[in-house]
Every structure is written in structure tokens, then in C-alpha cells.
Amino acid sequence: MKPVEANIDGLVGPTHNYAGLSFGNVASEKNALSVSNPRQAALQGLKKMKFMHALGFTQLVMPPHPRPDLRAMRALGFDDITKVPDELLQPLYSASAMWTANAATISPSADTADGKVHITPANMASKLHRTIEANVTATYLREIFPVPDFVHHLPLPSTAMFYDEGAANHMRLCKSYGEAGTEIFVYGGATARYPARQSLQASQAVARLHKLTPSRTIFLLQTAEAIDAGVFHNDVIAMSNERLFIYHEKAYENITEHKKALDEFISIVITEKELSLRDAVKTYFFNSQLVTLPSGKIMVIAPAECEENKNAKTCFEKLVSDGHVSQVHYLNLRESMRNGGGPACLRLRLSLNETELTKINGNFILNDALYETLCQWIEKHYRDRLSVVDLRDPSLAQESLEALSELHRILGIKTEML
Ligand code: SUG
């Protein structure tokens, strides 16, 4: 059985906006209150999915969440969206579920003691606008990966001790897809400026739930310096694929302790001199998708911002000239990038064998026909301009929920959640 890489990308929702909700995420803070273009955002993300599909990867689509989140609104004691104050209205309208690298942690069957794929939806407990994602994420994941073929766990308890932000803080190294791998969990500790968004307790709990082999499980501590420079997730400072692990020299406190376990893989350290932490955060160099093409060649799918930065571009050129990577493809994802989400943030990666692949709900797999349908759906329902002031417009709620209800019909979603 030939195992494959699959990706689930979040389709950007019709309420994509810049509300500055993520303290510690430099782009979100910097672009707070600027005007977004939800239509462009969704089309940019969809184009990436089409690109992956054309390369031969299995590409899945994760629908946007219902926004405004009327369930969360009612749970807070409101019965009318026009009465909700801004500080709650903005989180209830956030389209942040688009960044599916934060949707869950997934361990492939090659790594788990029971030989099954294990899925733990992230609780995203550190931010209100993101923690309301957990239930719907769990529901969508169950639609895509039916029980009992896939094992679904509950999100961890929603409290600081268990802050969990999913695959954005999780990597997997292996000799080749299908072979047992080494899973790496990255967590944060005390910092001076910005909060850590993944806890060690959470990472350890996920490793236990997924029945991983302790000798092939590593826990890396992020440096406070990196978090305080805006590295709010590990995928802003490291990337990995199969045996290749590329990370910034300032990423981890304790990586030397794990040198032996990492020895069987190829580690490439990018120095501060080659690419400063500041430029890593600015360009999202490490938030690239590092993929093995069906031909066996390694490709990087990088944000267009890297092409415009001399040092980032030079680092990629060096990876190519050293033979680690055969090709770099730059993609325009500016709408998402302005909220701190690059190519890797927009996707949840998993490795599946051929049998598991046949068990996925095929309605969510992108093909040319679904791509066309989704483009038309976006053109029909999305605005090309949205500011936080527009969140006060009651017709936006109606537009957004109507669009989602049509999308649920397109994708054949059975669970009632609107
Ligand atoms: O959680 N931005 C997201 C970006 C997530 C990126 N994901 C990964 N690195 N994997 C976040 O900080 C901004 C929303 C706003 O400000 O309107 C936001 O939530």
C-alpha cells in the first residue's frame, strides 16, 4: 500500500476581516482595522488547493464555520446580533477557522500502537475568536473522516494548562511516508512580551491519546525570544517533510538534548545571519509547504513575500543549489498573510495509506468540477470589501449564513449546524 500526503485546506469564509484579535501575531496586530477583500482571500486559497490537486496530491476542502457564530452568541446570553458589543461581535464574526493547521493534530496509522489514524481537534483555548472553532472543527472532521475507520478524540480541556493549537505545533519526520515516524511536539513557556499558545501538558496528552511510541516522540521548547519576536506557532519558524527538517537557529531551547533521535534525519539550520528572526516573521519563510512530489522530487510552496526579500530568496536558492529541494514555487496569499496565515497555516497535512484514502468522504475532495463550483459560489456570495465597521451591518449575517447553507448542500454535509 503506497501511502500518500493529503491536505485539508480551510476555505476562507465570507466574513474574512482584519480585527486585530491575535495579540502576539505581528501581522494581525499591524493590519488591525484595515479593509479586507473576502472574495480575493477565498479565491487565493482555492487557487492553492487547485495547484496542489494539479501536482497530484489529494486535496480536501474544509468549509468555513457558521459566522456570526449564533450558538456562541446565545451561550453568552444574547438573542440578537445587533445587540452584541464590538469586543464580542468581532470574535463571533472571525473567519479564523480558515487556518486549518490549527484545526487538529493528526497522527498517521504508521505511528500509532493500534495502527489507526488518530485525530485530536485543537481547543484553541488561548483566544476567544479561535476557541469557538473547536466544536464545529470536530464535527467537520467527523464528516470528512468517518468513524470507526478513523479515531476521533475530544478537544482537550479548554484551559491554559492545556492550550492546544494543533498541527501548527506538530511535525513528523520519517524515512518515507508509510514508515513509522518521529513525531515532534513544540510548546512554549514563560515569555516577557507575548503569550505562548501551546502547552507541554497539551502536547503530552495528545501524544498519549494517539498511542505514540515514547522513544519516537520529541517535545521541543520554543525560545521566549522567538515567541516575543512574533513566532506564535512553530510553523512560523520550522518546516519539515519526510526526512528533511529545516528550522531557525533561534527556534528551540532544548534541541541539542534530542540530537541523537534526530540524527537519522537531515536537519538544516538557518542562522540569524542568513535570515533574521524578524525577516522570518515578516516573510513567513518557514510557513512554506515542503512536499514530496509523486516524482520523488521535493518542492517548496512559499509565500510571495519571500520572493521580495533578498535573504529569504537566497535561503531558498541555497536549499536548491545544495540539492535538498528541487523547486520553489511562490504563491500570492496576501489576504491571509495580512492576518498572519501563510501557505502552511492554511493546510492540515496528513499521511494516509491507500485503504484509508478510500474511507474519506469523497464529497470533500477537490476535483476540477468542485473547484469550478466553489469559484462560482464565491463569486455569488462574497463581498470584495469588508471592514470591522461592516460587521454591524445585519445583512452581512444573513449573507454569510445563506452562503454557508448553500455550501453545506454542495458538500452534502449531514450534520445540522446552522
Ligand atoms: O491564530 N490569525 C491567526 C493566524 C493563524 C496562523 N496559523 C498558523 N501559524 N498555523 C491566529 O493568530 C487573526 C484574526 C484577526 O486579527 O482578525 C488571527 O486569528
Provide the number of structural domains found in the chain.
Answer: 1
Q: Are the C-beta atoms of residues 199 and 163 closer than 8 Å to each other?
A: yes
DSSP state of 172: E
Q: Are the C-beta atoms of residues 229 and 24 closer than 8 Å to each other?
A: no
DSSP state of 204: H
Flag whether 417 is in a domain.
no
Q: Are the C-beta atoms of residues 223 and 255 closer than 8 Å to each other?
A: no
What is the pLDDT at residue 414? 81
The C-alpha cell that represents 338 in the structure block: 495580512
Query: Ligand 1: which of 8, 17, 22, 30 to mutate, judged by most atoms within 8 Å of the beta carbon?
Result: 22
Query: Nearest residue CA, atom 10 of ligand 1?
Result: 345
Q: SS3 for 288?
A: coil
Ligand 1 centroid distance, CA of 23 (Å) = 9
Flag whether 188 is in a domain.
yes
Instruction: Determine the Cα angle at 122 with ends 120 and 126, to 5°.
Output: 155
| The pairing of beta strand 217-221 with beta strand 182-187 | parallel
Query: Nearest residue CA, atom 7 of ligand 1?
Result: 345
Flag whether 142 is in a domain.
yes
What is the pLDDT at residue 2? 64
- Rounded CA-CA distance 247/251 in Å is 7
Q: Report which residue type is found at 246.
A: I
Q: Report which residue type is found at 343.
A: P
Q: Which atom of ligand 1 is nearest to the CA of 232?
A: 9
What is the pLDDT at residue 160? 97
Flag whether 418 is in a domain.
no
Tell me, yes or no, if 165 is annotated catalytic: yes
What is the pLDDT at residue 122? 98
Flag whether 26 is in a domain.
yes
What is the pLDDT at residue 416? 80
Tell me, yes or no, if 345 is annotated catalytic: yes
CATH of the domain at 127: 3.75.10.20
- Rounded CA-CA distance 230/224 in Å is 10
Flag whether 289 is in a domain.
yes
Query: Ligand 1: which of 31, 99, 222, 345 to mutate, judged by most atoms within 8 Å of the beta carbon?
Result: 99
Flag whether 416 is in a domain.
no
pLDDT digits (tens, 9 = 90+) for 339-371: 999 999 999 999 999 999 999 999 999 999 999
Out of 118, 133, 345, 356, the active site residue is: 345
Residue 109's domain comprises: 4-411
Rg (C-alpha) for the chain, rounded Å, is 20
Ligand 1 centroid distance, CA of 94 (Å) = 10
Q: How many CA atoms lie less than 13 Å away from 179 in the CB half-sphere?
A: 9
Ligand 1 centroid distance, CA of 286 (Å) = 16
Flag whether 189 is in a domain.
yes
Q: Which atom of ligand 1 is nearest to the CA of 197?
A: 1
- Rounded CA-CA distance 70/127 in Å is 18
Chain centre distance of CA 213? 25
Ligand 1 centroid distance, CA of 81 (Å) = 23
pLDDT in tens, the chain (418 residues): 566 799 999 999 999 999 999 999 999 999 999 999 999 999 999 999 999 999 999 999 999 999 999 999 999 999 999 999 999 999 999 999 999 999 999 999 999 999 999 999 999 999 999 999 999 999 999 999 999 999 999 999 999 999 999 999 999 999 988 899 999 999 999 999 999 999 999 999 999 999 999 999 999 999 999 999 999 999 999 999 999 999 999 999 999 999 999 999 999 999 999 999 999 999 999 999 999 998 999 999 999 999 999 999 999 999 999 999 999 999 999 999 999 999 999 999 999 999 999 999 999 999 999 999 999 999 999 999 999 999 999 999 999 999 999 999 999 998 887 7
Chain centre distance of CA 148? 25
Count CB neighbours of 14 within 10 A. Answer: 25
